[in-house]
Amino acid sequence: MYRTFGKRLLDLALVIPALILLLPVMLLVALLIWRKMGAPVIFYQERAGFHGKPFKIYKFRTMTNACDAQGRPLPDHQRITPLGRFLRSTSLDELPQLFNVLRGEMSLIGPRPLLVKYLDRYSPEQARRHNVRPGIAGLPALFGRSEQSWDDILARDVWYVDHLSFWLDLKIIVGTLLVVLKRDGVARSADGFVPEFTGSSVPCVEEPVVLSAPTPPAPALVMTLTHESDRSVTV
């Protein structure tokens, strides 16, 4: 019942007041981005959603459009601005995704939406992460933002799909809020130094997941995957 109806009701019950309360913050962030980097202030990218269906994910822009002499975009870590680094480390760049949740394309809690081009790189077991709506925050966020391997991230996504419940979502929400305040494990993800997922021969296996004492220490909010470029992935 929760998986079919309750989860969506919880999303709406939380995201509508969150949008009202956070609107001044979002306007301030948009103004800062416009002053520092100009337009546009919102970045969008196609991601794989529920059952792998593509949708456009929204984030605040964190990088410039700087290119090399050949007109090719510079590497992410050379284009990210100090403001963008701060937005990523605090997960403020993720706030526009509240509109994705409102539209029913995402959930507050679920596996982070990855690039569409990754769809044919998953094992059949890993592909089951798409059996629920993708989330702004996910279970792997409680185990380290960018310190985990892709195998660990995808295994925890599948574990979440198999054990989805109201209480599990509440634990992840509370754990994520604590992680945001601590801002642990964000250096590499904030700078864009995370490898692309190229596929794995290691199957996802069901492992016990300890929510009360994650190891390594939890990082800042969400696995933020791929900012303004599909060459690198921030988790």
- Estimate to the nearest angstrom the gap between the alpha carbon of 76 and the chain centroid: 17
Q: Given CA atoms 173, 96, 57, 32 in this order, what sign does their dihedral have?
A: negative
Q: How far is residue 223's CA from residue 168's CA, in Å, rounded to a whole number?
A: 18
Residue where the block lists tokens 């809690």 = 109
CB 93 within 8 A of CB 85: no
How high is the pLDDT of residue 191?
Answer: 53
- Estimate to the nearest angstrom the gap between the alpha carbon of 35 and the chain centroid: 26
DSSP state of 66: -
How high is the pLDDT of residue 225?
Answer: 37
118 three-class SS: helix
116 three-class SS: helix
Q: How far is residue 172's CA from residue 130's CA, in Å, rounded to a whole number?
A: 18
Q: How far is residue 45's CA from residue 56's CA, in Å, rounded to a whole number?
A: 5
Max Cα–Cα distance, the chain, nearest Å: 56
How high is the pLDDT of residue 107?
Answer: 97
Summarize pLDDT for 14-72 with one digit per residue, the tens.
999 999 999 999 999 999 999 988 889 999 999 999 999 999 999 999 988 888 878 78
Q: How far is residue 172's CA from residue 221's CA, in Å, rounded to a whole number?
A: 10
CB 211 within 8 A of CB 45: no
Those residues of the chain that have pLDDT short of 50 are 204-235
109 three-class SS: strand
pTM given for the model: 0.80
Q: How far is residue 209's CA from residue 140's CA, in Å, rounded to a whole number?
A: 10
H or E, element range at 101: helix 97-102
How high is the pLDDT of residue 9?
Answer: 96
1 three-class SS: coil
Residue where the block lists tokens 């390594």 = 216
Q: Residue 43: phi, psi to the nearest 5?
A: -105, 140
Amino acid found at 132: V
